[in-house]
Structure 1
């Protein structure tokens, strides 16, 4: 990190004539990280952060499960968690994070503008006309799919939608998952997001009531009939994609019956090799083994149940005979592991099948990006091009999984002088952006207006013994911001 920061400072110092104008699209950890480094590297750079939501902070606000215990984390550790792509895994006190990010947003050379959507409010080509550098620092906006029969049945949701629903994201306020027509939910995937979702479904609602969970979600969960959750993975417990922290939390739910088949815990030499090279995988396996050994043979009356199901992949979703176009279960093919290289195994079908009955399915199998006009896109992988593009308009780049790589990419091209001719030309920057938005009747929400939203949410939360009561509709958010 120190080396990249030094190189960036030296590169920016070589620019001349006009102040560098930088626009960062996305106000999550990656966006604020890039803004902070840019402001420190060049004493005259002007940085604008735009976001389609009226609220900043991205996953810190809408992707973090509300029931995680508070942890005192520095800004550095927050960034480290994000850099390691664990932003959905490490749960951070909201207040600590926004205090750190607020210092960046309130910097005299930095501005935040919410309610500005790339594509509908302003195009990528227009941003590139206005700024020397444009950084795309927002995450994937859609979900991966299985491409198997029945995937469009009612009762099937993505985990992302469900997380946004209970976190009060305005796009998913009206998701309305049916929690009352079944006692069983199947979650496809065994990563940290899957465990978060399972925990929200199974945790006593009196424990959720004092968090910042959205009220509509809390009310629905209080009336939920869900008592049994299946966490299903294609591979075995050695390959489970969660971390020990998340696993401990779900296993620690009060009065919870945990079911793990002893046969699934049998390790092969290939499994041993994988664990030898990964402390995380070893610790996850140990926790699952301990949970299986200490669990009772069957659940008792009133207990909620968590079933870990390994070596299964969905073959199709079953349609209910009683309720048309509604899911009634998942048809699974049993799998076995096949080595494809040193320390790597993949799941392959065995030709044996079984069903799990349920009326609710949550898919936690990853995300995919949406194409942006003017940016190369890999439709097969669902990814934007992450390497930078330099032309007569300026510098355009997509943040990578590791934001430090983005900073290094900027540094590399600046060091080579690729921006020298571009930086010799004036760019309208912030003034041009606000003029264009005004002509289109787009109302940008500055950071001071976000602070109004924040104040309203905190006040409403204090009335309910919660840290905040999130405003969950676009109408309420914009009203609070502009009042």
Structure 2
């Protein structure tokens, strides 16, 4: 019997586990899905905005996989630490597939980025999504009138939308009560989402973009002069040659540029061709605004500075300029790419594939694609693993690895523990007059799971 550990219970990890047990080349595969958190689903639980219920419903599909009798969920297990080094994990399983994502955000690399009030969008998303690592975060929202979001992707749109939404629209979601309360006290009236390039180069999807225009009590504006800087904006033939998403995005933005403001109490401004050069602060060390340099198309798909600067007021700055993988102790790491070196999913050490070690998801290919992209990525990795199965199963393993994990001082949360967390979150929601509400802290999650019983 081939025994495999999958590290990470987000989409890439679950798809890898599913592919392993559903294939027919190597019968009798058993998979343990390990996660540092006591809750499964990765970014589907802790990265998808709480008001995106359709995307969050993907948890149902992931749940079906994790309830397969050939798959075992073991949460609250940190791989790479002193209790469970990677080399020890490989002693307990024939193969290990690392699906640990890309958890670190990219920095802007400009003066003033250390000021109070400057945060990553990643941290903000984790906070309002109830990630236990973010439970102690505060964003000073009661003192914020104007916010700037730097970036032009779906995460930037998400955090812009959450900042502009009314509390009544967020109450039906599973947003943790502390985050909901902080947003209820927020005085944010203007959110500027700023991109250094043009509207045709935005990385947001049209569906996400359009959602901004459906927010009650919010005027959405795009500057006609900034849109006109894009070479394709006024050229129907050039626009027709764009990918469909970019064409649709331009039409949405054109509509907002041409519409008259309705005088609603909150405003979202979509700004383009502005490159951040400095975060401005006051004598108290808090952010007061951002300085941008106007950019212009360089004719080669990029932009160049013009020497013209503009200051934008802000008491909160969220950077959303991409993710990077984080090194995992015991695994090789390419700092330039932010990924683990691999060949078709096989981890490469010193130029050679390391038998029994594999990667899938963002730590394999970088933070690209959508949730569905993880499925073919996982299949490629599993295909490599199955090709190696003959050599892998020659190695004898100790008894049930769960015993070894407990002997190392770990307290794994099994599936019944996760179901207990779900039940506790449903009860919490009922007590607050809401639907299920996330428990946002480690102590609360582990108390609900009771690992000793799970």
* TM-score greater than 0.5 by the shorter chain: yes
Shift of 1:269: 4.8
- What is the TM-score when the length of structure 2 is the normalising length? 0.89
| Residues 289-328 of structure 1 mapped to structure 2, 5 A cutoff | 289-296=254-261, 300=263, 303-321=265-283, 323=284, 325-328=285-288
Which residue is equivalent to 1:103?
64
Inter-partner Cα distance in structure 2 for 1:273 and 1:24: 46
Alignment partners' CA distance in 2, 1:439 and 1:409? 31
Partner of 1:339, secondary structure, is coil
Residues 184 and 136 of structure 1: CA distance in aligned 2, closer, same or farther (over 3 Å)? same
Contact 1:215–1:469 under 8 Å retained in 2: yes
For the aligned residue pairs, the C-alpha RMSD in angstroms reads 2.0
Deviation at 1:273, TM superposition (A): 3.8
| Inter-CA distance 275–122: structure 2 relative to 1 (3 Å threshold) | farther
Shift of 1:265: 2.0
Q: Is the 8 A contact 2:212 2:220 kept in 1?
A: no
Separation (CA, whole Å) in 2 of partners of 1:413 and 1:479: 37
The 5-angstrom pairing of residues 197-208 of structure 1 reads 197-208=159-170
Cα distance in 1 for partners of 2:17, 2:27 equals: 13
Taking a change above 3 Å as real, the CA distance of residues 409 and 472 of structure 1, as seen in their structure-2 partners, is closer
Unaligned ranges ≥5, structure 2: 366-372
Following the alignment from structure 2 to structure 1, what is the Cα–Cα distance between the partners of residues 167 and 232?
A: 43
Shift of 1:259: 2.1
The residue that corresponds to 1:12 in the other structure is none
- Compute the displacement of 1:391 (Å): 6.0
The answer on 1:352 being equivalent to 2:308 is yes
What is the match of residue 439 of structure 1? 407
- CA drift of 1:261 comes to 1.1
Report matched runs for 1:267-416 at 5 Å: 267-269=230-232, 273=238, 276-296=241-261, 300=263, 303-321=265-283, 323=284, 325-340=285-300, 345-387=301-343, 388-389=346-347, 394-399=356-361, 400-401=364-365, 402-403=373-374, 404-412=376-384, 414-415=386-387
Which sits farther off after the overlay, 466-475 or 444-453?
466-475
Residue in 2 that maps onto 1:425: 395
Q: What corresponds to 1:92 in structure 2?
A: 56
In the alignment, the residues of structure 1 paired with residue 37 and residue 123 of structure 2 have an alpha-carbon distance, to the nearest angstrom, of 16
Q: CA deviation at 1:427?
A: 2.6
- CA separation in 2, counterparts of 1:132 and 1:243? 41
> Paired residue for 2:6, among 24, 27, 35?
24
Task: Write the distance in 2 (CA, Å) between the matches of 1:64 and 1:40.
Answer: 27
Asked whether the 8 Å contact 2:16–2:382 carries over to 1, the reply is no
Q: How many residues align?
A: 429
* 1:450 to 1:308, Cα distance in 2 relative to 1, 3 A: same
- Give how far 1:274 is off: 6.5
Deviation at 1:119, TM superposition (A): 1.6
Map of 2:180 onto structure 1: 218
**Alpha-carbon contact 1:26-1:51 (below 8 Å) kept:** yes
Partner of 2:35: 51
Check conservation: 2:219, 2:267, Cα contact below 8 A: yes
**In 1, Cα distance between equivalents of 2:381 and 2:34:** 21
- Aligned pair in 2 of structure 1 residues 295, 131: CA closer, same or farther (>3 Å)? farther
Q: Deviations over 1:185-218 (max 9, x none)?
A: 0000121111111111111111111111111111
Q: Check conservation: 2:290, 2:311, Cα contact below 8 A.
A: yes
Cross-structure match for 1:256 = 218
**Which residue is equivalent to 2:369?**
none
Aligned mates of 1:51, 1:311 — CA distance in 2:
41
Asked if the contact 1:385/1:398 (under 8 Å) is kept, the reply is: no
Select the residue among 40, 43, 67 that pairs with 2:22. Answer: 40
The match for 1:86 is: none
Q: 1 CA distance for matches of 2:239 and 2:4?
A: 44
CA distance in 2 between counterparts of 1:54 and 1:26 reads 11
Q: Are the structure 2 counterparts of residues 412 and 464 from structure 1 closer, same or farther at C-alpha, using a change threshold of 3 Å? A: same
Question: For each residue in 1:6-25, what CA deviation from the matched residue of structure 2 results, as whole angstroms up to 9, or x when unmatched?
Answer: xxxxxxxxxxxxx1111100
- Residues of 1 paired with 2:397 and 2:181: CA distance? 50
SS of 2:302 mapped into structure 1 = strand
User: Which structure 1 segments of 5+ residues have no match?
Assistant: 1-18, 72-90
Distance 1:50 1:421 in 2: 23
